[in-house]
Amino acid sequence: MKISHFKVTPFSNPFVKALKTSGMTYTHREGVWVQLNYANFAGVGEASPLPGFSTETLKEVHYALEGFHQAIDGEDLDCEELFLLIGIHSQNTPSVRFALESAIYDILAKEAELPLAKYLNSNAASEIAVNGMTGIHLPGDGFTIMKVKVGFRNLFDEIENMEYLTQSFGKEIQFRLDCNGVFDLPKAIRFCKEMEKFNIDYIEQPLPAANLEDLAELTYHTEIPIAVDESITDFQSAEKIIDEQAADVFIIKPMITGGFTECKKIIELGRAENIRTVITSTLETNIGRSACVHLALANDISEACGLATGSLLNEGKPTQPIQSGKISILDGNGLGVDL
């Protein structure tokens, strides 16, 4: 495969409304789109590290992409060599690995005249369940699982908020509580005890990412499944979480963990240990979200995933349709999305 054209396009897309987490406020989503051309096919990917979550900077992304470009420029390489070079040039930039793997798989799937998920797994479904987000999605939107940001109110207000949400969405709706690591162990235990009376699917990153011993201790004090998000950054971190018995659920962000290859290894590791796996976005644009959807489908993820984030960004482009709490892949071969 000889890449005839290599294009990097910076972007800065505004959020419809400023997005706040426990530690950050986001007004724009910045990153780069990558396009590779081979024969008559163009493959695209997205590298957009998220400040506060990702370990690399946009400057490092540009350096890594330029290094890869120089390595392949004018060379006729087979797929194994290409993926080897991607790994070499993205060792410290997982978003670059995600972008380049997405672009190469996009090309290969288009060449095979298949959607990317079907190219990687002939039995892949064409739609996947996703969770909604309180404050964004409404009770009539068809979601069966809703994500709730918690940890920034006092405990009594948190209880009152959950009572209100349960009344609004219905007792059959499950809630995922996203903490972004704001509690210490005593506060997490008390919080979980108060939340057990509600229909909780899991509590996400209740303690700081590095506190695996306390996360493991928390599992003995609550019936609510413990999910790790910021704690899981690559295969080695997933192994450590398992060794510490610190989680019941892996929440994998392909932009953080490094794309298709690394995610598949983590998913298979989790399955072997009976750990549930959820694929979620890092607020990517349509290109990155589409890659996340195909990755989840290719790996037969059965959990509702955190991929219904398209309405947060002002993109002006069609996104994956969401109906009855499910996202379908867009029509066409490959990712189904072009620059």
Q: Write down the H helix ranges in 152-285.
A: 155-169, 185-195, 212-219, 235-244, 254-257, 260-272
Give the CA distances from residue 273 to residues 13, 24, 128, 202, in Å, rounded to whole numbers and listed in that order.
Answer: 39, 33, 23, 18
Interval 312-321 mean pLDDT: 71
135-157, pLDDT tens digit by residue?
889 998 999 999 999 988 889 99
Q: Which helix (H) or strand (E) holds 228?
A: strand 226-228
pLDDT category of residue 22 using cuts at 50, 70 and 90: low
Contact 296, 250 (CB under 8 A): no
Secondary-structure class of domain 5-113 per CATH: alpha beta
Specify the domain boundaries for CATH 3.20.20.120 within the chain: 127-328
Q: How many CA atoms, within 13 angstroms, populate the side-chain half-sphere of residue 313?
A: 24
185-227, pLDDT tens digit by residue?
999 999 999 999 999 999 999 999 999 999 999 999 999 999 9
* Torsion angles phi and psi, residue 57, rounded to 5: -105, 165
230-256, pLDDT tens digit by residue?
999 999 999 999 999 999 999 999 999
* Torsion angles phi and psi, residue 296, rounded to 5: -65, -45
Q: Which two tokens stand for residue 303?
A: 């959990």
Q: Please give the CATH architecture assigned to the domain spanning 127-328.
A: Alpha-Beta Barrel (3.20)
Specify the domain boundaries for CATH 3.30.390.10 within the chain: 5-113
